[in-house]
Amino acid sequence: MSAHRKKKPNQRNERHGAAWGGGRFLLLALILVTNQSFAQRIRAIQDGGDASAIQRISPDLAQILRGNSGQALRVIVQYKNAPNSKQIARAQFQGARLNSSLSLVRASAFTMSPAAIRALAKDGDVASISPDHRLKGMDDLTDSAVGVSTAWNSGYDGTAIGVAILDSGINDNHADLQDSTGSVSRVVYHQDFTGTSTTNPAGAAWDLYGHGTHVAGIVGGNGAWSGGRFAGIAPNVTLIDLRVLDKNGAGSDSMVIAAIQRAIALKNTYNIRVINLSLGRGIATSYANDPLCQAVESAWRAGIVVVVAAGNYGRLSVNDSNGYGTVTAPGNDPLVLTVGAMKTLNTADRADDQIASYSSKGPTTYDHVVKPDLVAPGNAIVSLIDHGSTLEAKHPANKRYGTIYPGYRPYFSLSGTSMATPVVSGSVALLLDQNPGMTPDQVKARLMKTAYKTFPTSTTAIDPTSGQTFTSYYDLFTVGAGYLDIAAALNSTDLAPAAAASALSPSATYNPVTGKVSLVNGSSVVWGTSVVWGSSVVWGNSVVWGTNVNGSSVVWGTSVVWGSSVLNGFSVVWGSDIGSNSATSVVWGCSAFDAVDASSVDIDGDE
């Protein structure tokens, strides 16, 4: 754990270590162990033969347990109600080590043996036990591509808007993260949730990996070292650093959930209106059963716009699936704003921009939610370097020069949906600067409705490492509602009614009789065909999704291109039982506990 630093009177630049609170629970466990009735209750749970215990263990965890010889596992135990000290003590009596308390999702994170997991599953207070999945971070023409100059010329720069960066940390020593005086950092709060060191050998504080500093620069760098050339989207935002990835870019579900809890708790203190999650992992279950997805939904309902990377698996072609069905969690949740990556082709003209071949595509595994929601520039994005970080050492050729001192390189280039995500987060801050009363649903609705929707039918790209050519099709599972256009969003006056609107992304369903895939919308969903958006504007599917959708029906292989053939890769996403939620043929299978790597650090971009 990182040590606390003395809080400054104005509460800026606070440093905090994560407080897991395990000590008092361990003491309580020791007291309770001596109680005979308590021990008897434990034996009753162990020997009760509760058939429902099997259902309390998630399918992916069950798969891991079958092949485990006794090695302790990190798990998240969700309870029917917020866990109390007695319930924690029962788990500790089994030998579990408490890692963190996750009250946001009525859960606790433990390290437990397989035997202890099976025993605890018999506890009637337990709702489910799932793996504590490991996660990784997903790695100046951008401003022109999304029209950010319109915001700046109108005086919107994110002032007083707080953006929580849940990543590998932020090195607030970079000049681009200072305020207009150049003497006070706009990173006002730091907290570590990884329990690892926060200072590297070069003395860089809080970001050993380098990913979070780069992401923070895209959101809110002011371009001090480049004369404004490499400024971020919202150059005067307040940044809240919640560190969930270590020096290798690795973290876990419980770390992210704990950080989300903290962001919600700090919402009023720092006016946190946006959470940026440039990270993800494979999907092992429906979003409705995933504690990580439940956590992001809690933040959304607390009034915070959660912006999440779609993932970098668009080149993954399982049985000719052409990268479909590869959106990662928690980007699979229908509430959050999920972002795919575009490339600017080194021009300021948006019309020639193309989808990045590595950008993950929907529909989502298990639930078939239409994702991503938007796309934004994410290829070869120049932002802040963290000197002494893992990424700098791994990719020295990615360093970029500033304009202040010759020979000094304060910037760095990375590619991935991780870089596209903070572009959207910064844009959300600009929109909230203009309209501070907007709800997360209204923000998502406005950005999707005003997105740029003119695309080619298909494009090709070359992986510079392998030389392999990839073909991408511009359907709603690839580009969502379109290309982020912050200028159009700021110029729009349309506003979904706060009381009735829900910006849940729709799901897709397959009709084997007609051979069509249709969008399924609830009656309260803002882009449902019968919902009036504002006083007179009917926001139907053809408005949100553009010409890719014919009414409320998506014609498989025509309006929505699925690879080069109608059925190519179809069963990979939809399961072997077409039209159901069968998970027998899904991309992620049961390997998500070991985490399919969602990192952007090895994404070289497209040629």
Query: Which candidate, 328, 399, 319, 229, places its Cα nearest to that of 571?
Result: 319
Please give the C-alpha separations between residue 317 and each of 137, 269, 326, 573, in angstroms, as whole numbers.
22, 45, 9, 11
Residue whose structure tokens are 């690879």: 563
What does the block give as tokens for 250?
Answer: 């690795």
Please give the C-alpha separations between residue 251 and each of 169, 294, 306, 496, in angstroms, as whole numbers.
12, 18, 18, 36
Distance between CA atoms of residues 352 and 332, nearest Å:
29
For residue 275, the cross-strand partners are: 164, 306
Distance between CA atoms of residues 543 and 526, nearest Å:
11
**Residue 246 among the catalytic residues:** no
- What is the H or E stretch that residue 79 is in? strand 73-79
Distance between CA atoms of residues 296 and 310, nearest Å:
14
Q: Are 138 and 416 in contact (CB under 8 A)?
A: yes
Please give the C-alpha separations between residue 483 and each of 43, 183, 541, in angstroms, as whole numbers.
58, 36, 16
Marked catalytic residue, from 418, 505, 559, 599: 418
Q: How far is CA 68 from the centre of its chain?
A: 30
Distance between CA atoms of residues 473 and 561, nearest Å:
6
Please give the C-alpha separations between residue 167 and each of 213, 259, 276, in angstroms, as whole numbers.
9, 10, 8
Please give the C-alpha separations between residue 254 and each of 100, 273, 305, 596, in angstroms, as whole numbers.
7, 22, 20, 17
Marked catalytic residue, from 16, 174, 211, 368: 211
Q: Are 108 and 86 in contact (CB under 8 A)?
A: no
Please give the C-alpha separations between residue 367 and each of 104, 363, 524, 578, 582, in angstroms, as whole numbers.
23, 8, 19, 13, 10
Q: Are 413 and 398 in contact (CB under 8 A)?
A: yes
Distance between CA atoms of residues 466 and 538, nearest Å:
47
**Residue 395 among the catalytic residues:** no
Residue ranges in 312-374 assigned as alpha helix (H) = none
H helix and E strand count, the chain: 19, 26
The one-letter amino acid code at 389 reads S
The dihedral through the CA atoms of 138, 139, 144, 150 has a sign that is positive
Angle (CA) 63 67 73, round 5°: 80
Q: Are 211 and 245 in contact (CB under 8 A)?
A: yes
**Residue 214 among the catalytic residues:** no
Task: Give backbone dihedrals phi and psi of 159, rounded to 5 degrees, phi first.
Answer: -55, 130
Angle (CA) 183 186 187, round 5°: 120
Distance between CA atoms of residues 307 and 234, nearest Å:
15
CA-atom Rg of the chain in angstroms = 24
Marked catalytic residue, from 132, 157, 167, 475: 167
Query: Which candidate, 366, 311, 363, 307, places its Cα nearest to that of 340?
Result: 311
Supply the residues annotated as catalytic. Answer: 167, 211, 418
